[in-house]
A = this chain, B = another copy of it.
């Protein structure tokens, strides 16, 4: 029996069940009685709701991410853990890796812990094939699920995200409008946000009624830490005759590889080649020149995600989706008009 069954049996909405279970005062006594009757009848108290029923819980929230040592995800875990701690919650951390079956079992194992909610950090948990997201839907039937940088319409799932489509479209458009119509789009993830970024890139061409050259969208298969591998990959593309005056990378590591590629081939940045990364990480300031990069305000996203999470656990009505905007922080690898600059 889960929150849906309780809602159906009691004839009230899921939000109402949630409010009862979380001990919210904004429930009519008669409604509360209906819900509690159902729970008593079936003798079932999901762990996540034990607190609201006055039972002892661990006040723990599960964080699942693919790889907590990834620059971006490490920051996400750090911000989320800090905000949860300030709200009096522990965090149980699990790294699931990127394989679908591993993600599924990580979530199942987490549900088996006495966590009050689970946070999936990173857009790679949502795939384009809806069937492959069923495991999240099932989890949300038991405890609230919070997605960072991913989108899924499902009861008891709450999304906090950056509009990567828009940021990508804007920056691609600015590059095109500055005369760089042959932007190489370099990516290494087919996650939800990865595809949104790619869509934004293509859309920048579409809205200008320009053709998109499929050859210019390149997927890098190598390790997420092998900057030299990215450099060699681009050298290979060049050897095959591919020409481009800008590289737009779905993350900073790829952009750092593009900077190395330019250096290895005597290509001037930004004179002959513009480079844009994503995430505005430490790598951008380590590169020479420093890399212009889209900042998706991860710290703000994580603070909001935790606020939403705590509010939901307190039985408040929360919007299923909160969307922020990204912005290009212009450094040494681009010279685009009209963008914030940061030294």
Contacts and interface: CB of A to CB of B under 8 A. Distances in A.
B85 A74 contact: no
Interface in A279-317: 282-283, 285-288
Interface residues of A, number: 37
A137 B288 CA distance: 46
Given A58-B113, A285-B228, A77 B93 contact: yes
Interface string A91-113: 11111000000000000000001
Contacts of A191: none
A189 interface: no
B228 A71 contact: no
Interface string A65-102: 00111010011011101100100001111110000000
Copies of this chain, tallied across the complex:
2
Nearest to A62: B90
A69 B78 contact: yes
A228 B342 CA distance: 12
B94 A85 contact: yes
A6 interface: no
Contacts of A225: 282, 285
Given A68-B77, A77-B69, A60 B92 contact: yes
A146 to B, nearest CB: 17
A256 interface: yes
A238 interface: no
Contacts of A285: 225, 227-228
Contacts of A75: 69
A132 interface: no
A243 interface: no
Nearest to A115: B90
Given A68-B68, A283-B282, A92 B91 contact: yes
A29 to B, nearest CB: 36
A90 B343 CA distance: 42
A263 interface: yes
Nearest to A228: B285
Contacts of A74: 68-69, 71, 74
Nearest to A253: B282
A58 B283 CA distance: 38
Contacts of A69: 74-75, 77-79
* 9 nearest A-B pairs in the assembled complex, by CB-CB distance: A69-B78, A74-B74, A286-B286, A93-B93, A69-B75, A69-B74, A68-B78, A227-B285, A256-B286
25 contacts: A58-B58, A58-B114, A60-B92, A63-B93, A68-B68, A68-B78, A69-B77, A71-B71, A71-B282, A74-B74, A77-B77, A77-B93, A81-B94, A81-B95, A90-B113, A91-B93, A93-B93, A225-B285, A227-B285, A228-B343, A253-B282, A256-B286, A282-B283, A283-B283, A288-B288
Given A71-B282, A227-B286, 6 more contacts: A60-B92, A91-B92, A227-B282, A228-B285, A256-B286, A260-B288
